[in-house]
Structure 1
Amino acid sequence: MHNWLLPEYIEDVLPAEAARLESYRRQLLDLFRVHGYQYVMPPMMEYVESLLTGTGHDLDIATFKVVDQLTGRLMGLRADTTPQAARIDAHMLNHQGVSRLCYAGTVLRTKPDGLARTREPLQMGAELYGHAGIESDIEVQRLMIKALQLLGMQTLFVDVSHVAIFASLSHMAQLETQQEEELQAALHCKDVARVKALVANLPVKAQQPFIDLTHLHGGIEVLENAHDCLPDTPEIAQALQEMAAIAARLRSPSVEVTFDLSELRGYHYHSGLVFAAYAKGYAGPIALGGRYDEVGAAFGRARPATGFSLDLRGALLALGPAQTSMGVLAPVSDDPALQTMIETLRAEGTVVVEALPEAPVHYSELACDRILQKVDGCWQVLAV
């Protein structure tokens, strides 16, 4: 075995790609900042009880776990930053009003996932705490749209669902936990035959709504069809009303809103609206989000919460290979005029590399396509 080989789905990020990632990371954080979202940097590792409380089974199996040599307690490497942000809001900040937090950092996952198919996504996100109304959901989704448009995705598709619909049907049918989980999986795959088999033992009136969910996906007509075929419960009525409000407020020439009422991603984690953003050139969702009011309660301080996150590396995939920004090669000299010229170029944002004495010059390796050369007593930038 070669000692220099990295684990599967773990990779180095080389200079050109790293520069592009860092540039967009800064731009996104600036975007979040001007919308009032304060930057936090949670630790990479926490005790498992804190890291996974209230997040459900899926995040548990995605989390690497190690034993703390100081305490003997089990610790986890974060697979998602959202629970950490919820902990910070609940215990570290302890704000009485609305809190807006954002983050940017690596997470680690036991299996590759997302658009980049990596176990080490660069996760960025924004979370809003302390407001339960539809206005905060819309704010977060609009911020997500702006973030993706900043990355160059001008035409977006936002797919919306609401976990209260399945929860209401499940409660009415008095499903047991295992049957509920099996139905979630079948609905996610839109496996009509499997759904029919799983509800076969339910009362006839309780069967059809679950089967109908497999067909309720598409445009705004989905909400009208849902009114006609789903039970008229207060929870379902409110969910459909909230989704209609989202469509009315988000739809624009560059944003299309669709619905998929069988989408139950993070059912045990989310508590209301859930959404995913798609764009041409991508095979899967670029950003994911939703409302998760119950997570704060798990930390001992119930707070309404909504937010979104994206893997920046995955989001940049469709841009193609990163291009290296070429710089200027300068000789090493104490000439004051040369030093002034170098500092002026650097202040303007131009990369200037000084050629060390006796070192071989390879312009491509140094990422330089110009040189500083003295012509008629003046330092000038010339093409190589």
Structure 2
Amino acid sequence: MQFTKLRIPKGTQDYYFDYLEKRSYIENKMRKNFELWGYKEIRTPTFEYFESLATGTGLELQESMFRFKDKGGRQLALRAEMTSPIARVVATELRSHPLPMRMYYLAPMFRYEEPQSGRQREFWHAGIELFGSSLPDADAEVLAVFITTLDDIGLKGVSVELGHVGLFKSIVEEAGLSLDEAAAIRRSIDKKDDASLETALKEVDVSSAMKDVFRLLPKLRGDISVTKKILDNVDNENVEICIKNISDTVKLLELYKLDSRVMVDLGIVRGIDYYTGAVFEGFVKDLGTALGGGGRYDNLVGEFTGESIPATGFAIGVDRCHLALEKQGFKFPLKNSPQILILYIDQELKGEAVKIAVNLRKLGLSTEIDILERKLTKGLEHANKRGIPYVVIVGKTEFEQGEVVVRNMEKEMQEKVKIEKLKNYFQK
């Protein structure tokens, strides 16, 4: 299709007016909750060297990155996720910072993928990263922040599915396969696609008993009792360690009174390579895809410097949260800004209208002055279309008496108010 300056690239979107006000509401709520838990904001460059952004992410994500060269021929890319950039900062600039470190972010990401509901090629993520603890206490905290953040923005029916990538890796090792050989199996289990799983299992040389274990994984969903079935079918010390980690995390969530919101799903096998432990995804019933997810990645910092720091975190799709709130019929608290429109009837009163506007803004009231010199009727029609609740009319007769007319657009009523008492009028 021929390029035109009136178009924007596929997978991008313009944001303005009420839409942005709704997004700001979501982001402000998220920011407030992150900070309540002791997390501090971090920002990294939108583009970095490709090699740095690709660290630990795996081929699937790397192939979705927007890549380009600078004038020196160096390979750059737009960030596709935030965990690797933050791990780089920890590895280079924050090595001596006291542990644990708690960070949060709200930032745009970029992936060259087919646009889908709730995610374009440019999309926004909000998330946290917690560095310094290998205990399940950290996993439980991250899960608790995830759930309470989605609750706080107004979403109903938030639930989380919890698994462990170490479980799949341990079973693959027990079966005598490499992770590359098991890649197709992993994708099938992750999608819970029985047909493609059977095809993938035909391509590998493993015992029928181990094939049954792979078939079992995507079906093990429910409360903590489902973990017993995997222990009954696999005698492996690492598998036992993974199951104990899941169990300990769920028990800790009881302290937050959030354990009822968590379902164990041993078929969660997240696609980004850097995950090493507990992983999870969050859902609401009104959206047919995950709102976000995360997990533990204890080796990622070490891929930059050779010295690892245990870490865990999550990312939430802000765009998907917005879509889910709309589907649930959430009433965003829009401000209907501005609150006041000032109309002056005579050119000689323009200066006085400006003075009134300045004083109203000092009170924290969002105030516009009509700059198109509309007649009174047209000015009131404009305020009505814009949803502006009050109109201050500066007329010559009233002004000579030290007054203005204040019209309440919702009640379709108006009254004269002394100019020096406008502050008291609007403070009511």
TM-score, length of structure 1 as denominator length: 0.90
Alignment partner, residue 240 of structure 1: 243
1:118-267 correspondence to structure 2 within 5 Å: 118-200=120-202, 201-229=205-233, 231-250=234-253, 252=257, 255-266=260-271
Are 1:311 and 2:317 an aligned pair?
Answer: yes
User: Match of 2:302, as an amino acid?
Assistant: A
- Residue 209 of structure 1 and its aligned partner are, at CA, apart by 1.5
Q: How many residues align?
A: 379
What residue identity is the alignment partner of 1:222? V
Q: Does 1:382 align with 2:407?
A: yes
Taking only the aligned residue pairs, the percentage that are identical comes to 25
Amino acid at match of 1:219: D
Alignment of 1:81 onto 2:82? yes
Code of the residue aligned with 1:63 in structure 2: it is M
> 2:7 aligns to what?
5
Distance of aligned partners of 1:199 and 1:311 in 2 relative to their CA distance in 1, 3 Å threshold: closer
**CA separation of 1:214 and 1:122: change in aligned 2, threshold 3 A:** closer
Match of 1:295 among 300, 310, 327: 300
Amino acid at match of 1:216: L
Residue 191 and residue 356 in structure 1: after superposition, are their counterparts in 2 closer, same or farther (change >3 A)? closer
- The SS at the match of 1:299 is helix
Cα shift readout 1:333-369 (whole Å, capped 9, x = no counterpart)? 3369724651254x2xx42112125368533675523
Distance 1:67 1:253 in 2: 47
Within 2, Cα distance between the matches of 1:112 and 1:367?
A: 38
Write the mapping of 1:4-153 to structure 2, written as runs, cut at 5 A: 4-69=6-71, 71-94=72-95, 95-112=97-114, 115-153=117-155
Q: Deviations over 1:144-168 (max 9, x none)?
A: 1111011102432110010111111
Shift, 1:284, TM fit: 1.1
Provide closer, same or farther for how the CA distance between residues 380 and 109 of structure 1 changes in structure 2, counting only shifts above 3 A: farther
- Greater relative CO (CA pairs within 8 A, separation 6+): 1
Q: Which moved more, 1:296-305 or 1:125-134?
A: 296-305
Tell me the alpha carbon deviations over residues 171-196 of structure 1, each in whole angstroms, 9 at most, x when there is no partner: 11121344210111121233335434
Matching residue within 375, 391, 398 for 1:371: 391
In structure 1, the gaps of 5 or more residues are none
Q: d(CA) in 2 for partners of 1:293 and 1:133? A: 11
| SS of residue matched to 1:281 | coil
Q: In structure 2, what is the equivalent of residue 338 of structure 1?
A: 356
Please state whether the residue corresponding to 1:128 is helix, strand or coil: strand
Q: Which amino acid aligns with 1:180?
A: A
In structure 2, C-alpha distance between the alignment counterparts of 1:302 and 1:117, rounded to whole Å: 32
2:369 counterpart residue number: 354
Q: Is the 8 A contact 2:79 2:110 kept in 1?
A: yes
Q: Deviations over 1:3-31 (max 9, x none)?
A: 21112221101211112212322332222
Larger radius of gyration: 2
Asked whether the 8 Å contact 1:328–1:371 carries over to 2, the reply is yes
Counterpart Cα distance in 1 of 2:81 and 2:111: 9
CA distance in 1, matches of 2:408, 2:278: 56
* Alpha-carbon distance change, 62 to 205 in structure 1, aligned in 2, over 3 angstroms: same
After superposition, the Cα gap between the structure-2 partners of 1:241 and 1:380, relative to the gap in structure 1 and judged at 3 Å, is: farther
Q: Contact conserved, 1:269 with 1:295, CA < 8 A, in 2?
A: yes
Letter in 1 for 2:153: L
Q: CA deviation at 1:88?
A: 1.1
Q: Is the 8 A contact 1:325 1:367 kept in 2?
A: yes
Quote the offset at 1:65 in angstroms: 0.4
Distance (whole Å) between structure 1 residues aligned to residue 125 and residue 193 of structure 2? 31
Specify the SS of the correspondent of 2:352.
coil
Equivalent-residue separation in structure 1 for 2:128 and 2:185 (angstroms): 31
Aligned to 2:340: 328
What's 1:279 paired with?
284
Q: Distance in 2 between matches of 1:286 and 1:381?
A: 46
Q: Which runs of 5+ in 2 are unaligned?
A: 344-349, 410-428
Q: What SS class does the counterpart of residue 368 from structure 2 fall into?
A: strand
Q: Which moved more, 1:318-327 or 1:293-302?
A: 318-327
TM-score (normalised: structure 2): 0.81
